[in-house]
Amino acid sequence: MPKTTIKKALSSSFVSLPLVNPNAAGIDIGDTLHAVAVPAGRDEQQVQTFGTMTCDLEEIVTWLKNCQVETVAMESRGVYWKPLFTVLIQNGFEVYLVDAKRVRNVTGRKNDQTDAQWLQQLHSCGLLNSCYLPDEEQEALRTLTRYRKCLVGDSSRFVLRMQKALELMNIKLHTVIRDITGKTGIAILEAIIGGERKGENFLPFVDRGIKADRATIVASLQGNWREEHLFTLAQSYQFYQFYQERIASCDLQIERQLQQLNSFDNTPEPQLYASNTSPAEVALQLNSKQPKKKKNKNSPRFDIPTYLKSIHGVDVVAIYGISDRAALEILAQTGTNLSKWPTQKHFVSWLNLCPNNKISGGKLISSMLMKKKANTASQALGSAANAAQKSNHWLGDYFRRMRAKGGNKYALVATAHKMATIYYKMVRYKQEFTPLDLFDYQQKYKLAKIAFLERKLEQLKKQAA
């Protein structure tokens, strides 16, 4: 068969993809330049390169409008996409933010222009899905909570440096009291920086809650008092105090943002209550006193549970293991409208707390978790699962059973998965947390295991017959 005939046959058998978004553009994001591709025939140059200054972003918007573009797809790389994303949204474009792993270019020569064209082609055919994007109020809260987390981490570094300075002077205070940043520890540190050196003179600063005897405390405060270590101790203490002030200021801003989020939140009334329940009874149920969890020293300095209950309409802090700080981080990461995830399975999959099943030829090739950095909500749920492992309730029993089955990491993911499911149902459907009785939960599991073993026994009997 001649080559021309073969080419005609191949071209006639080729099935082109339908054009879903005819007015679609693709943008390859960079730190110093953006490559923008528009549909063919809209301009003499199908791909143009722009800078990243504000005036350059305005030129991109003008060119896209002249090319009659309505929707834009761009990759999510670092934070470089955010300024252009904001400008495009303000000018009425529909913007798809896509994961770079899902839009890898075809093999061959690679550059910014071909990447932009590839994005434009995929988006024109409707093959791209946008990432989850928070609204402005949630984005502000997310930025503040992430910044606060960084401040807490930086503050803890200087606590470690203070402990190192004390250790180098052979001052064993941090081995006698539990926390050198507590009431007693701060008073003793300030006295040391102020020039006090005799162990007996530190005793008036010791709080009654300290379990160590006075003789041990005096012995722990005898050292070499070297000048260079005293200097580093004073410097580290000043930095610690500075970060504590910044954290307190950040807490005030977070509280203001929560108040604003509460005023903007239009969450519908809870639907789990009966139709004959009066508003007064609903308010009584929402405001009923729950046993308060012990606050961590790094928790924000305001009443988080009250804000969360007002925003969500349910008490998410009632979930075993979830602290007020963890609940705040989850709110900042996921928002209040969980209907953006159609089901709880979509929500758990977005958190990367479920297997990434790969099936080919009808066989399961792999069920490993996706290798990607856990977001703040996943980390908070993982910490909550870890906190529940030694607790005497059904989630703690579930963790220990999963640990016996697949190890500690397996149990962490499984328990965090269950907590995420509970959180999703509470926030989306306004269902209060109703914990199971531990004895009933264990009995139910035993009966299910007996039924499973009986089915296996029947199968073995049939095979042996």
Q: Quick one: 28 and 57 in the same domain?
A: yes
Looking at the domain assignment, is residue 133 inside a domain?
Answer: no
Q: Are residues 379 and 325 in the same domain?
A: yes
For residue 295, is it within any domain?
A: no
User: Do 332 and 424 fall within a single domain?
Assistant: yes
167 and 284, same domain (yes or no): no
Q: Are 153 and 113 found together in one domain?
A: no
pLDDT for res 413: 93
In a domain, 7, yes or no: no
> Domain check: are 111 and 199 in the same one?
no
Q: Across the chain, what does the average pLDDT equal? A: 85
pLDDT band for position 110 (cuts 50, 70, 90): confident
One domain, residues 166 and 233: yes
Q: Which of 129, 100, 145, 151 is nearest to 333 (CA)?
A: 145
Kindly state whether residue 56 falls inside one of the protein's structural domains: yes
- The model's confidence at residue 16, banded by pLDDT at 50, 70 and 90, is low
Residues 107 and 23 in one domain: yes
pLDDT in tens, 388-431: 888 899 999 999 999 999 999 999 999 999 999 999 999 999 99
Q: In the prediction, which pLDDT does 88 show?
A: 93
The answer to whether position 183 is within a domain reads yes
Residue where a domain terminates, one of 67, 93, 124: 124
Does residue 9 sit within a domain? Answer: no
| Domain assignment present for 412 | yes
129-172 pLDDT tens trace: 888 888 888 889 999 999 999 999 999 999 999 999 999 999 99
Mean pLDDT across 323-341: 92
Whether the per-residue pLDDT at 297 is higher than 70: the answer is yes
Among 72, 89, 124, residue at a domain's last position:
124
Give the percent of the chain with pLDDT over 90.
55
Tell me, yes or no, whether 354 and 254 share the same domain.
no
Q: How many domains does the chain have?
A: 3
Shared domain check, 147 and 33: no
Query: What confidence score (pLDDT) does residue 107 get?
Result: 60
CATH of the domain at 40: 3.30.420.10
Residue 215 located in a structural domain: yes
Span 184-203, pLDDT tens digits:
999 999 999 999 998 889 88
Domain that holds residue 43: 17-124
| In a shared domain, residues 416 and 284 | yes
Query: Are 143 and 120 found together in one domain?
Result: no
